[in-house]
Amino acid sequence: MKKFLVIAFFLSLIANCNAEDKSRVWLDSICTSKDLKGVNPSLLNTFDISNLISNVSRFEHDPMIYYTGTFGSTFKKIDIKLKITKSDSISLLYNVSGFDRLGNNIRPIDGFMRITSVLKFQHGSEYGNLHLIILDCHFFEPGDRDGDGEFSGIFTITADVNNNSIDLIYSESGDFREYTNVFVGNWMKYNSSSLKSTIFSINPIGLYCELPLSKDFYTFDTDNEDICLPKNKYIQNGWKNYSPKDKIKWWNDKP
């Protein structure tokens, strides 16, 4: 089964490489930034970054317990739970398992993430050797229901990379937040060519929490324009009473 998914993963990357979607727009934006300079991805061969991506619960109502974001042109709230493990046989490849939730519909997902680019921030930083890590992603729903499909896109991480350690950077002051544990991509229903834009992060609402390429989704607090809020017309799409402090387990570990 895993061999089939690996093949499907790379075939999908080839098939969608010319697609006009937000993942390509976001990737182009990153790669043309003058603040970033590419380095050889093999820099990360000896590291395991799975713990930088996997959802964990370090304390009660930890916002890192799962990711949250928007789905489709009406910005429905979608939740994603990811468990990441490094491949034993393919360098820079990571196996993915987990769940997604859209409304009351919860589906298991399996797939892969592969490090394709590593870029170093060129301006001075209090975080030392700050790098941006880009991964190509592909997550599959099972396909045993009519509404199943697949996610494809890119995932970015900001990390301090040193000779013997790599640490996730999540700036409380909002620095580089647009790159920190953010997925930008699409969901496509099986046997369909219709794309649903999907963008998620640790927390998409609040102080310095603006998702990339999502201007139409947001309004801003009148007293503090750095506080990002959903527009009133989208609140009914799952955002009513949303708070990262209220995150609780909604998935079944044994589907």
**pLDDT digit string, tens, across residues 73-121:** 999 999 999 999 999 999 999 999 999 999 999 999 999 999 999 999 9
- Least confident range of 58-67, 134-143, 179-188, 246-255: 246-255
pLDDT above 70: residue 2: no
**Spatial contact of 36 and 125, defined as CB atoms under 8 Å apart:** no
How much is the pLDDT for 58?
78
Contacts of 106 (CB under 8 A, 6+ apart): 99, 100, 250, 251, 252
Residue 114, CA atoms < 13 Å, CB-side half-sphere: 14
How much is the pLDDT for 254?
55
Query: Please, is 144 exposed, middle or buried when counting C-beta atoms within 10 Å of its C-beta (0-12, 13-18, 19+)?
Result: exposed
How much is the pLDDT for 56?
87
Question: Can you give the length of the chain in residues?
Answer: 255
Q: How far is CA 193 from CA 39, 67, 241, in A?
A: 35, 26, 34
Q: What is the C-alpha separation between 50 and 168, in angstroms, rounded?
A: 11
Tell me the residue ranges of DSSP E strands in 19-86: 36-39, 67-71, 76-86
Dig out the tokens for 208 from the structure.
């310095």
Chain segment 12-33, per-residue pLDDT in tens: 444 444 335 899 999 999 999 8
Q: What is the C-alpha separation between 28 and 215, in angstroms, rounded?
A: 18
- Least confident range of 83-97, 149-163, 165-179: 165-179
Q: What is the C-alpha separation between 228 and 89, in angstroms, rounded?
A: 42
Q: How far is CA 16 from CA 23, 62, 176, 185, in A?
A: 10, 35, 28, 11
Q: How many CB atoms lie within 10 A of CB 247?
A: 21
Chain segment 192-201, per-residue pLDDT in tens: 888 899 999 9
Q: Which amino acid is at 251?
A: W
Q: Where are the domains of the chain?
A: 2-246
Q: What is the C-alpha separation between 134 and 27, in angstroms, rounded?
A: 9
Helix, strand or coil, per DSSP, at residue 3: helix
The model's pTM is 0.89
Q: What is the C-alpha separation between 98 and 89, in angstroms, rounded?
A: 21
Q: What does the pLDDT average to over 130-153?
A: 96
**Helix (H), strand (E) at residue 30:** helix 22-31
Name the one residue in this structure whose structure tokens are 């030392």: 128
Q: What letter does residue 12 receive in the DSSP assignment?
A: H
